[in-house]
C-alpha cells in the first residue's frame, strides 16, 4: 500500500511539475509532429508505398521524441539534487523508479494521443481501420520504452555527454520493441490477418515483463551511491 | 613474480603457436569447399571470432552481476576487459562476414538474423565502452556499466528472435549454405575456436592487468590532492 | 553510559583503490551536537553519506541503535533529516507543493499544520505559494531546512550549511539548530566555518585523510586552542 502511494506521489508531483513548466510534453509533441512532417518528404504524396512505411515513421517519431523527453524529465530530478533526496526518503527505492517510469509513460502516451490523429490526417492512413488493437500495441511498446528509457536516463544524466549517451545506450537495446511494435502495427495498417500480429504482441509483452523484473532486481544496486 | 611472468609468457608462446597452426589448417590443410572455393576458408576464423565475441560478452554479464553483489572492483575490471575484447572480435565478425558474403551471395550485406544480431550486439557494447569513458567517478562507472552489461546480454536472445521473425515475414533472399560440414572442416573449425579461446585468455590476462594498474594510478592521483 | 544512537565500528570505505575512509570507529549519542572539520577530500562527505545510509561501508559495521545497517528497513531512513549544499527542491514548484510532496514521501501526519509551523519559523510562510525558482540563496536554504525537518527527524545531518548564506539566513539557521539541540536532537554538521561550528557544538571532530584524527568534547578546549590543533592536524 505504501509502495503504491509512493509511486502515485511521484506521478502526482511530476504531473504538477509538468503543468507548471510545460518543458517535457510540449517539446516532445513539437518534435514528434515535426518528425512526421519531415518524413513525409521521402515519398510521393498519395503513393501506395507509404502505407508500408507509415507505421515505422510513426514509431520513429515517438522514439526520438521520447528520448528527448526522458532526458528532460531526468534533468529536473538532478538539478537541485532532488534525486538524492528521493533516495534518502524512507520508501522502497524501486517505488521511486517505477513512479518516474510511470510519469514518463504518461508523458509519451500524451504525445502519442495528440500525434496519432494528426498523423492519420497528414498521411491519409487510418491505423484503427481494423479495430482498436493498435492501441494495445502503443501501450505495450511505450511501456517497454519507458521502463528501459527511465533507467538509462538515470545513467546518462550522470555522464559528461548527457544528451548523446541516452540514445546510444537505449536504441540498440530497444530494437525488439521497435521491431515488434512496427511489425504489429503494419499488420493492422495493411489489413493483414490479425493473427499475424499475435507473436509480436507476445514478444512485446515478454520484453515488458522481463525488463520490469530485471530493472526491479538491479535498481537498488546501482543507485545506492 | 618471476614465476608469474614466466607462466604468462608460456601461455603467450602456446597461444601464438596454436594460432599459427590454426592458420595453417584453415588456409592450407582443410579441404577446399566445392562450390565456394578458397573464400570459404574465412569461415574458420569468422566462426571462431563470433564464438569468442559471444563468450566475452557472457563473461561481462557474469562479472557485472558479481560486481553488483560483491562490490569487488576486480570483477569490474574483468567485465570491462572482456567487453573490450568482445567488441574487437565482434568487429572481426562484421568485417569477415561481408568479405565472405560478397563473392557467394553477390551482396556485401544481408539482414540475416545472425549478422543483424551481431551488429546490434556491437552497438550495445560500443555504448557500454563509451559510457565507461564518460563517467568520472569509479563507483558510478562500475555500477552503471554493470547495469548495461546485464541488460545488454539479456536483450541479445530477444533481439535475435525478433529479427528472425522479422526476416521470415519477408522472403528470405539468401540462405546460409547446407548444414553438413565435412569432418575435416569441422575439425579445422573446432581447432580455430580452441586457438582463439587461448588468444582470448592471453588478451584477458594482459587487459585485466592494465585495468588494475590504471586503478592504482587513479588512486595515486587521488592521494596527491 | 547511554546507548549510542549511531556507532561506527572500524568502518572502511573504498571506491576502487581510493580509500575514502580508513578504519573509523566513533559513536554518537542522543542529544549531541557534533561539528566535524577537515580539509577538502578528507572523507567528510563520505562519512556523512555512510551516516545517513546513502552508501554502505566496504568493511566494518555501522550500528543504528545497536542494529546493523543491513538489517534496517527502508522506513529507518525517516530518522534522518539531511541539509546539504544542494537545496533538494524542485525549482518549478512552489514552496508549498515541494513540501507537500516530500511530506507524502515521509508519511507525515497533519501535513498542512506541520508545514505552517515550520514555514513560520523560517519566516517564509508569506512566500509559500511562490515558485522556488524565484527564491534567493538564503531563502532557498531556509526552505531546504524546512524540508529536512518536515518529518521531525531524530538525527539532523548538515553538509556545509552555512556556505553562501546571508547573515539573516545564517542567523535563522543558528537559531533553529540551537532549538533542535535544546530538544535533544542529535546534530551532526560538517563545516568549514570554524566560529559557527565551534559555537554551536557540544563535541568537535577533525577528519583528515579518511581518518578521525581528533574527537573531543567542546568543554575541554577553547576555540583558540582548537583552531591551533586544527591547523596542526591539517598541515601534518
Residue B68 has pLDDT above 90, yes or no: yes
Which CATH number is C181's domain given? 3.40.50.300
Q: Does A26 touch chain B (CB under 8 A)?
A: no
Which range has the worst mean pLDDT, A39-53, A91-105, A125-139?
A39-53
Length in residues, chain B? 225
Question: What pLDDT score does A225 carry?
Answer: 58
Q: Burial code of B88-110, b = ≥16 C-beta within 10 A, e = fewer?
A: ebbebbbebbeebbeebbeeeeb
ipTM, two decimals: 0.92
Of C58, C37, C27, which is closest to residue A224 (Cα–Cα)? C58
Nearest by Cα to A138 from A102, A184, A187:
A184
Q: Which residue of A has its CA nearest to C75?
A: A90
Query: What gap in Å lies between CA B137 and CA B84, rounded to an integer?
Result: 20
The residue count of chain A comes to 225
- Contact between A55 and A34 (Cβ < 8 Å): no
pLDDT band at B197 (very low <50, low <70, confident <90, very high): very high
Q: What is the pTM of this model?
A: 0.90
Helix (H, G, I), strand (E, B) or coil at C220: helix
Give the CB-side neighbour count of residue A149, counting CA atoms within 13 A.
Answer: 34
Residues from chain C contacting residue B215 (CB–CB below 8 Å): 16-17
User: Residue B161 and residue A207: Cβ atoms within 8 Å?
Assistant: no
C interface mutation test: which of B70, B139, B143, B211 has the most C CBs within 10 A?
B139
**Minimum-distance CB partner of C77 among A6, A80, A90:** A90
User: What region does B121 belong to: left with phi over 0, alpha with psi -120 to 50, or beta?
Assistant: alpha
Average pLDDT over residues A137-164: 93
Look at A90 and C82 and tell me if their CB atoms are within 8 Å.
Answer: no
What is the DSSP code (8-state) at residue A41? G
Q: What total number of domains does chain C contain?
A: 1
pLDDT tens for residues C48-91? 988 888 888 888 888 888 888 777 778 888 889 999 888 899 99
Separation CA B160–CA B116 (nearest Å): 8
Contacts of B138 in chain C (CB under 8 A): 15-16, 18
Residue B172 confidence class, pLDDT cut points 50, 70, 90: very low
Among the partner residues C49, C89, C106, nearest to A89 by beta-carbon distance: C106
Chains touching chain B at 3 or more Cβ pairs under 8 angstroms? A, C
Give Rg (Cα) of chain B: 20
**Residues above pLDDT 70, as percent of chain B:** 89
* CB < 8 Å from B in window 32-71 of C: 40-41, 58
The pLDDT of residue C156 is above 80: yes
Task: Please answer yes or no on whether A210 and B146 come within 8 Å at the CB atom.
Answer: no
**Which grid coordinates belong to C98?**
515541494
Assess contact for B19 and B199: CB atoms under 8 A: yes
Q: What is the pLDDT of residue B225?
A: 38
Lowest mean pLDDT among B92-101, C16-25, C168-177: C16-25
What is the Cα–Cα distance from B53 to A23, expressed in whole angstroms?
A: 42
* Widest distance between CA atoms in chain B: 67
Domain span including residue C16? 4-235
Task: Give CA–CA dist C51/B96, Å, rounded.
Answer: 55
Give the pLDDT confidence score for residue B4 in this predicted structure.
66
Contact A180 B162 (CB under 8 A): yes
What nine digits make up the cell of C6? 549511531
pLDDT band at B221 (very low <50, low <70, confident <90, very high): low
Interface contact C18-B138, CB threshold 8 A: yes
Contact A54, A134 (CB under 8 A): no
Residue A112 has a pLDDT of: 96
Test mutation, A89, A97, A221, A222, chain C, max C CBs within 10 A: A89
Amino acid at each position: 500500500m505504501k509502495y503504491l502511494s509512493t509511486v502515485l506521489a511521484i506521478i502526482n508531483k511530476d504531473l504538477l511539475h509538468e503543468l507548471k513548466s510545460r518543458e517535457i510534453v510540449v517539446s516532445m509533441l513539437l518534435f514528434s509532429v515535426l518528425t512526421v512532417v519531415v518524413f513525409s518528404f521521402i515519398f510521393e504524396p498519395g503513393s501506395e508505398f507509404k502505407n508500408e512505411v507509415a507505421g515505422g515513421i510513426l514509431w520513429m517519431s515517438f522514439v526520438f521524441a521520447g528520448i528527448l523527453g526522458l532526458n528532460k524529465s531526468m534533468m529536473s530530478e538532478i538539478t537541485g539534487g532532488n534525486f538524492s533526496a528521493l533516495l534518502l526518503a524512507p520508501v522502497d527505492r524501486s517505488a521511486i523508479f517505477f513512479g518516474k517510469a510511470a510519469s514518463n509513460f504518461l508523458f509519451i502516451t500524451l504525445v502519442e494521443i495528440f500525434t496519432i490523429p494528426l498523423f492519420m490526417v497528414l498521411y491519409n492512413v487510418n491505423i484503427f481501420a481494423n479495430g482498436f488493437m493498435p492501441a494495445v500495441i502503443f501501450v505495450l511498446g511505450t511501456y517497454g520504452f519507458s521502463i528501459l528509457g527511465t533507467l538509462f536516463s538515470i545513467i546518462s544524466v550522470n555522464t559528461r555527454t548527457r544528451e548523446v549517451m541516452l540514445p546510444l545506450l537505449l536504441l540498440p537495446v530497444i530494437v525488439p520493441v521497435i521491431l515488434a511494435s512496427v511489425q504489429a502495427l503494419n499488420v493492422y495498417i495493411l489489413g493483414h490477418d490479425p493473427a499475424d500480429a499475435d507473436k509480436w504482441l507476445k514478444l512485446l509483452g515478454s520484453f515488458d515483463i522481463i525488463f520490469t523484473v530485471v530493472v526491479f532486481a538491479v535498481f537498488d544496486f546501482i543507485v545506492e551511491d | 613474480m618471476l614465476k608469474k611472468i614466466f607462466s604468462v609468457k608460456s601461455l603467450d608462446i602456446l597461444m601464438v603457436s596454436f594460432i599459427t597452426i590454426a592458420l595453417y589448417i584453415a588456409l592450407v590443410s582443410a579441404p577446399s569447399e566445392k562450390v565456394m572455393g578458397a573464400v570459404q576458408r574465412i569461415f574458420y576464423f569468422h566462426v571462431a571470432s563470433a564464438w569468442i565475441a559471444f563468450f566475452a560478452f557472457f563473461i561481462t554479464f557474469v562479472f557485472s552481476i558479481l560486481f553488483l553483489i560483491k562490490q569487488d572492483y576486480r570483477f569490474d575490471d574483468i567485465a570491462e576487459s572482456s567487453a573490450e575484447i568482445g567488441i574487437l572480435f565482434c568487429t572481426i565478425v562484421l568485417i569477415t562476414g561481408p568479405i565472405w558474403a560478397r563473392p557467394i551471395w553477390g551482396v556485401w550485406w544481408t539482414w540475416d538474423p545472425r549478422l543483424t544480431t551481431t551488429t546490434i550486439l556491437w552497438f550495445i557494447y560500443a555504448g557500454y565502452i563509451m559510457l565507461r569513458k564518460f563517467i568520472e567517478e569509479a563507483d558510478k562507472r562500475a555500477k552503471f556499466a554493470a547495469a548495461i552489461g546485464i541488460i545488454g546480454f539479456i536483450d541479445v536472445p530477444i533481439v535475435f528472435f525478433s529479427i528472425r521473425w522479422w526476416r521470415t515475414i519477408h522472403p528470405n533472399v539468401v540462405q546460409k549454405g547446407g548444414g553438413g560440414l565435412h569432418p575435416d572442416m569441422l575439425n579445422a573449425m573446432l581447432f580455430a575456436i580452441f586457438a582463439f579461446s587461448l588468444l582470448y585468455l592471453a588478451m584477458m590476462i594482459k587487459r585485466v592487468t592494465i585495468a588494475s594498474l590504471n586503478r592504482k594510478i587513479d588512486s595515486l592521483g587521488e592521494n596527491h590532492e | 553510559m547511554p546507548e549510542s544512537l549511531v556507532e561506527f565500528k572500524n568502518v572502511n570505505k573504498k571506491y576502487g583503490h581510493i580509500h575514502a575512509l580508513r578504519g573509523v570507529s566513533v559513536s554518537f549519542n542522543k542529544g549531541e551536537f557534533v561539528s566535524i572539520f577537515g580539509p577538502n577530500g578528507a572523507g567528510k562527505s563520505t562519512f556523512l553519506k555512510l551516516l545517513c545510509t546513502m552508501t554502505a561501508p566496504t568493511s566494518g559495521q555501522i550500528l543504528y541503535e545497536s542494529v546493523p545497517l543491513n538489517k534496517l528497513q527502508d522506513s529507518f531512513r525517516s530518522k534522518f533529516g539531511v541539509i546539504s549544499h544542494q537545496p533538494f527542491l524542485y525549482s518549478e514548484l512552489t514552496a508549498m507543493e515541494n513540501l507537500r510532496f516530500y511530506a507524502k514521501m515521509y508519511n507525515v501526519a497533519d501535513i498542512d499544520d506541520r508545514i505552517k509551523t515550520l514555514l513560520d519559523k523560517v519566516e517564509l510562510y508569506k512566500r509559500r505559494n511562490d515558485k522556488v525558482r524565484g527564491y534567493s540563496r538564503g531563502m532557498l536554504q531556509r526552505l531546504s531546512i524546512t524540508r529536512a525537518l518536515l518529518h521531525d527527524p531524530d538525527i539532523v545531518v548538515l553538509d556545509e550549511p552555512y556556505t553562501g548564506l546571508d547573515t539573516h539566513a545564517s542567523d535563522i539557521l543558528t537559531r533553529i539548530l540551537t532549538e533542535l539541540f535544546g530538544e535533544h536532537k542529535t546534530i551532526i554538521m560538517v563545516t568549514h566555518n570554524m566560529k559557527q561550528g565551534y559555537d554551536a557544538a557540544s563535541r568537535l571532530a577533525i577528519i583528515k585523510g579518511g581518518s578521525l584524527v581528533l574527537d573531543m568534547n567542546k568543554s575541554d578546549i577553547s576555540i583558540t586552542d582548537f583552531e591551533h590543533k586544527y591547523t596542526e592536524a591539517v598541515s601534518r
